[in-house]
Structure 1
Amino acid sequence: MMSLQPSLFEGSKRLVYDEAIQMTLQSMQAYGPTHNHWVFAFSGGKDSTATLTVILHLIDAGRLQPPKSISVLYADTRMELPPLAIAAENLLNRLRARGIYCETVRAPMDQRFLVYMLGRGVPPPNNNTFRWCTRQIKVDPMTAALERRINELDGSILMITGVRQGESAIRDGRIAMSCGKDGAECGQGWYQQVVPEAKGIRGRIATLAPILHWRVCNVFDWLKIYARLEEYGAWDTSAVVDAYGGDEAQEINARTGCNGCPLAVKDLGLMTVIRVPYWSYISPLLGLKPLYRELRLPQNRLKKTGIDENGDVATAKNKQRMGPLTFEAREMALDRILSIQSEINLEALRLGRPKVDLLNDDEVARIRELIALKTWPNGWDGDEPTADTPLDAVFADGTIQPLLI
C-alpha cells in the first residue's frame, strides 16, 4: 500500500508535524536543553517572525521543553517598512504580557540613519565605497545589546535566528561552509558554538537557525494561515504578510528593506506594500529614494580642494573627494522628510489607519541642534567649497592641471 506524503500544513485547522517542522523541533530538542537561556534575534521580518512564533507554539503545545528564560531582542533600525514596524511592536507587547523579556534595540541617537545623515552631514550610503548603514544602525547596536543581556544572565545562552537557505546567495555560501559545524547532523539547523560578532562573550553563547531548511511556501503557510488560528497561538501576522504582498506574498516572494533604501536600485519592498489596498496611503514614502539621490549631487556637498592649509598638494589618496552635505541640503532634506511624514499621517488620521514614524520629536530636535552647532564629519571644517565649484584638477601623482577658463 502506497503511503501518502503530507504537506507541511494540512487540513483547515490541524498542523501536521511532518518533515520540515519535525526537523525544526528536532533541532530545538537537540540544542535547546544544553543552554539555560534562549535569546531570539528578531528583525520583524517574515523569517524571524515565523521562527519566534513557531517555537513559542511548540512550547505551548508541550512538544518542546522551555528554557530557564526567553529573551527577544528586536532590531529597530527606525527605517523599517511601516507594516513590519507595527507588527513587531504588537508582537513584543503580547510577549511582554506573558512575562517574556523583550528589548527594542536602537542605535544611539547620533548614530541613527537620519540623525547621522542630516545632523552630522554624512551623505547617504552607497554600495561601492561607503556602505555605512547596516553595521551602524543594526549590527553594532544588536551586538552591544546581546552582550549586555548575556552579562545579565547566568549560564549558557542559545541565540536563535531566522536565517534560512535561499534568502541570500552570499549568505547561503556562508551557511554551506558552516552547516554541520560542531558535530551537528544534517537537518538539525545551522549551529555554531561562537557568535562571530560577540567575541567578548566567547564560550557562553551559541547560535542556531532552526528553520534553515524551510522553503518560502512553508513560511507563508504558517504566517498566512496557521499562526493566526487559536490552537497555534492566534498570532496577528497579517501586517507581516502585507509587507510581502498580502494574498500574493508567496508568489511575489519579495524582499523587504529600509524605507527608500539608498542601496537598492528600486524600492521593491515599499512598492510591494503599497500595492496592498490597506497600505496604499503610505505611497508618499516613495519620495525618499529620489531625495537621497538628490543629496548625493555635487551642489549639495562639499569637496576637498586637493591642497592642504600650507598650499601643498594634499597627501590623501582621493585628493578632491566629495564629502558631507551642506547645511542648506540638510535643512532641505529635513523639511521634505517631515512633509512626507505629515502628508501620510494626515491621511492616516482620515482613514483611521496607523501613522508612520520617520522622525520623532527628539530626533528632529537633535538634528536641528547638530546643525546649529555647525557639526561636520571628522576631517571636514565646513570651509571647503561645494562640490560643483570649478577647481584646479589635482591628480593622484601630485600634479596639478590649472582650471581652463
Structure 2
Amino acid sequence: MLWKPVHLFTFKKKFDFLGQRKAALILSTLINVVALLGVAFVGLNFGIDFRGGIAIQARAKQGVAQLDELRSTVGGLGVGEVALQEFGDPSTALIRVQRQDGGPQCVAGAQKVMLTRAGPGWQVKPGPPGTGDVEFTSPAALDAIAWRDAVSRAGLTVQERQLPRGTVNTAKIDMTPEQQAEWCQQVAIKLVEDAIGARYEIRGTEAVGPKIGGELMESGILAVIATMAAIAIYVWFRFEWQFAVGALIAMLHDVISTVGIFVLFQLDFSLTALAAVLTVAGYSINDTVVIFDRVRENMRRYKKLGLVDLLNLSVNETLARTLMTSATVFVAVLALVLFGGPVLYSFSVAMLWGVIVGAYSSIWIACAGLVYLNLRPEQLRPDDDKAEKAKA
C-alpha cells in the first residue's frame, strides 16, 4: 500500500496576486528609493573588514577561549568596536578591533602601556593641535639609546633625528597626524596584549589599513554583481530572456532593500553581512525559479489562457511550497537572531528580512515583470516543447 501525501496547506480560494501588481511595484520602488537615499545620505555602518582595523590571534593557556569574557575585557579598553570569533579550534580566538584614529584617546592609551611596561612615573601627552607630535616624560633622565628602548615599549619606532640630544627627562617625538594614526594601531595591540596576556598567548597580530578595506569593499561589490549576472544568465538559458530580466530585477530589489535594512538599523556591515546579501540573492532566485518553472509548464498546457490569469494560476499552485519553505527558513533564522549572539546578529537580521522579501519579490516583482515584458506562449523554445512531448 502506497503512502498518501499529506497536504499541510490546501487553498481552495485562488488569490489574485497579479491584480495587485501596480500597488506592489509602487511600494517596492518606494522602498528601494528610500534605501538608496539612506545609503547616500546616512551611510552604512561599515565593520572592521571594510574600515580597516587590527586582527589579533589569542590562544588560551588553559582550557577554551572565553569569547564573552574576552569581548568584555577588550571592549572596556576604549579601543572602539570589537569583534571576536573562534579561530581554528575552541582554544583560539580571533580578536578584531576597529582602526584607531590618532588623538588624545590614543595618547592616553599609550600612557597606560608605558605605566604597565616601563614602570610608574611615565607620562605621555599630545603635542600641539594639528600635529601628530607626542611628548614622553620619564621618571629619570635618559640618553638617546634609553629613550629608543623606552618608546619602543609603546610600539613606537623612531629614527635617530627624532631622539633628544643628551640626557633628559622629556622627549618630544615629531610625527605627522598620519604617522601618529599608524602608531596608534600598535598602541591598541599593546593594550590588548597587556589586558589578556595573563591568560592568553598572543599567536599573531595584523593591522589592516584603509586601503585593504577599500579593496575588500571593491571585491565584495564585484562578487555581488558577478553572482547576479551569473544567475540571470542561467535563468536566460533555462527559460527565456524575459524570465532572466524579471529574475534580475527581483534580485536587485532584494539586495537593495536588504542594504536598506543595514542602513535603517545601523547594523554592522562586514564580510559576514556581505555573505548575507549574497545568500538573500540566492534564496530569492530559488523561489523564483520554482514559480517560473510552473509558469513555463502552464504556458504549454493553457496556450489560450491570458498571461495574468496564467501567472496567477502558477503562483497559486506553488503557494503551499512557498509558504512551507519560507516558514521553515524563517523559524531557523529567527532562532539565530534571538540566540546567535552578536557575531551573527547582522547576518541573521538580514536573512530574516531576505526570507520575507524573497517570497514577496518572486510573486510581485519577478512575475509582474513578465507581464510588462509581454511574454507569450509562442516565444517558448520549440526544443522545449518537443522535450516536454517526449516526456509525456
Structure with bigger strand share is 2
**RCO (CA 8 Å, sep 6+): is it higher in 1 or 2?**
2
Structure with bigger helix share is 2
Give the TM-score of the pair, scaled to structure 1.
Answer: 0.24
Give the TM-score of the pair, scaled to structure 2.
Answer: 0.25
